[in-house]
Amino acid sequence: MSRDTSSSDLRIVMAQLDFPVGAIDANAGRVIDACRHARDELGADAIVFPELCITGYPPEDLLLRPHFQEFVERAVERVTREISGIVAVIGHPLRHGGSLFNAASVIADGSVIAGYCKQHLPNYSVFDEKRYFQPGAAACVVAVRDVPVGITICEDIWKPGPARQAAAAGAQLLVNLNASPFHAGKGLEREALLQQRALETGLSVMYINLVGGQDELVFDGGSVVVSAAGEVTHRAGCCEEVLFPVDFSAGPVAPVAGECAPHLEDVEAVYRVLVTGVRDYIGKNGFPGAVIGLSGGIDSALTLAIAVDAIGADRVSAVMMPSRYTSRMSLEDARSEAEALRVAYDEISIEPVFRAFLESLRDVLGAMPADTTEENIQARCRGVLLMALSNRQQRIVLTTGNKSEMSVGYATLYGDMAGGFAPIKDVPKLLVYRLAEYRNRTGRVIPERVLTRAPSAELAPDQKDADSLPPYEILDPILERYIEQDQSIEQIVEAGFDTAVVARIAGLVDRNEYKRRQAPPGVRISRRAFGRDRRYPITSGYPNTRGTLTLT
C-alpha cells in the first residue's frame, strides 16, 4: 500500500496481533513477518507491538524459570538482526543489573536505538507484575522520521506522570503498548482515559492492544488513536487481528482521520469475547474438538452455540443424557439445538447407570428418603459419561454452568462441574438470556421455549430453580453487589433487598468457595471473575454467614 506523502509525514502501524504465552520463537517470527509486511505492503515508517509480545501476556511464573530469559534475549537478538528499513517497538522482559523489567525496545536497522521500562506495575485484579518486575523511572523519547515519539507501557497511561514526563522530554506523539484484558464496558473506559491524557499533555496518543484468549483472560484489541484535542480518529475492531496503519501530519503532529471500527453494544462484545476465549483455549491447547452435554436448557444451548461459532460444527459433538425426570420438552429442544447447529448428536440414558448406583448404595444408605444425594448421583453419572466420550474422542468437555449458579454452589462437584473449560462461568443468568437472544438474531438456533420456560435442573419431580434460589431478577443484582462491588450485607439491604434473602445468598457464596476452586477455568467477562481475579480463603471465620460447607 503506497501512501500520499503530501498528506502524511509519518505512518505507524498498530500491530494488533495475538502472541501466545511462552511461544517465544514463534512470537519473534511473527514480529519479523509483521515488520516486513508493514514496510513492504503498507509503506510504514514504524510499527508498534503490544506489551510483552515476545513472551505473550501474562507469562506468570515462566518468568521465574532460570532459562526463560535466555530464550527471550536470543529472540530479541534475532528480531534486532532481521529488521531493517522500519522502526519497530517491541515489548519483552528485560534483565538488567540483576533486576527484571517489563520493557519496550525500539529497533532500527540491526540495532536497539532506545529502550523504556514500565514505571507503574499493576498489582490488583488479575495482575501480579510486582511479583516479577521492578519499576522503571526514566522517560523514553525517540525520533521517527524526525518526529519525537514518547514510549509508555499499559498501566503507565492510567497514571498522569509518565505521559507528562514524556511531554516534558520533548515528545510530540505518545505511543502506549498494552496487554489490557476485556471486561464489559472496558473499551469506553480506555478511550475516556486516553482522551484525558491527550488533553492534559497536548499530545496525540496511540494505544496498541493485544488480542486473543489466554486461559481465563481475553484481550480484545480495540487499539485506538486519540488526537491532542481528544477526538478518536482511528479504532481497530474487537477481537480482530489486524495490522492497522495510521498516518500523521507534522507541525504540529496530528493523526490524519482514518478508519474507526464501531463500538459494539455490550452483549455483542461479550459474545465475541466468549467465542474468542473458547476458540483460543481449545486451539492453543491442541484439542481437536469439544463435547458438550445438552440438557434442553438455556445454559447448554448457549454454550453449544458459542462452541460452534468458535471452532466449527464439525469439531463439536453434543450428547443428551436423559433420566427418569427429563421432560419430553427437554429432549425435543436438545435435538432441535443440535440439528440447528448441525453438530453430531447422541442420546445416552443414564437410567441404567443411576439404578446401578442406587442398588450399590442400598445396603449402606438404607431406606432413607431421597434428597440431594440422589440428585447429585444423576449429575455424576452424566459427568462420567462425558469424560468417557472426551477420553475416546480426545475432545475437551465444555461445562455449561453460569456465574449465578457457581456463585451460590448450585452445581455438582464431579458432575456438571466436570470438564476442561467453562465458557459461561462468568456470565450471570440474566445475561445468558440476553446472549441467547443476541445469537438468535443471526439465525435461530435456540428454540423460543428454551428462552421462556422456567429453568430447571430436572433432577427431581417437577423441580424448578426457583424452588432453591430467589428469582434471577433478584439473585443476580445481589450477587453483583456482593461479589463484584464488595458491598456488605448491610449496604445491599439498604439498596432495597430483603435482609434474610441477602444474608442467605452471601452465606451461600462464602460457603461454596471450596467448590469453585475445583471448577475448570472459564472466560472472564466481568470486573470480578472467580479464579485469579477474586481470591478468597476457603477456610475463614469471616463473615458470620458462612455456617458449614455443603458437600454437593
Catalytic sites, residue numbers: 51, 118, 154
Q: How far apart are CA 277 and CA 216, in angstroms?
A: 7
Spell out where 393-465 has E strands.
396-397
Strand pairing category for 316-320 and 290-294: parallel
Instruction: Answer yes or no: are the C-beta atoms of 172 and 201 closer than 8 Å.
Output: no
Q: How far is CA 237 from CA 220, 224, 279, in A?
A: 8, 9, 18
How many Å apart are CA 115 and CA 138, to the nearest integer?
A: 10
296 φψ region: left (φ > 0), alpha (ψ -120 to 50), beta (else): left
Q: 315, exposed or middle or buried, with CB in 10 Å at 0-12, 13-18, 19+?
A: middle
The answer to whether 99 and 67 have CB atoms below 8 angstroms apart is no
CB 420 within 8 A of CB 397: yes
How far apart CA 388 and CA 409 sit, in angstroms, is: 25
| Helix axes of 328-341 and 298-311: crossing angle, nearest 10 degrees | 10
Instruction: Name the pairing type of β-strands 224-226 and 217-220.
Output: unpaired
Least Cα distance to 296 among 256, 249, 321, 331 occurs for: 331
C-alpha cell at 301: 444451548
Separation of alpha carbons 449 and 527, rounded Å: 31
Query: In Å, how far are 129, 154, 231, 286, 498 from 58, measured between CA atoms?
Result: 9, 13, 31, 19, 41
Set of cell numbers at residue 4: 500520499
| Distance in angstroms (rounded) separating the CA atoms of residues 199 and 356 | 71
- Amino acid in position 92: H
Which H or E run contains 242? strand 242-249
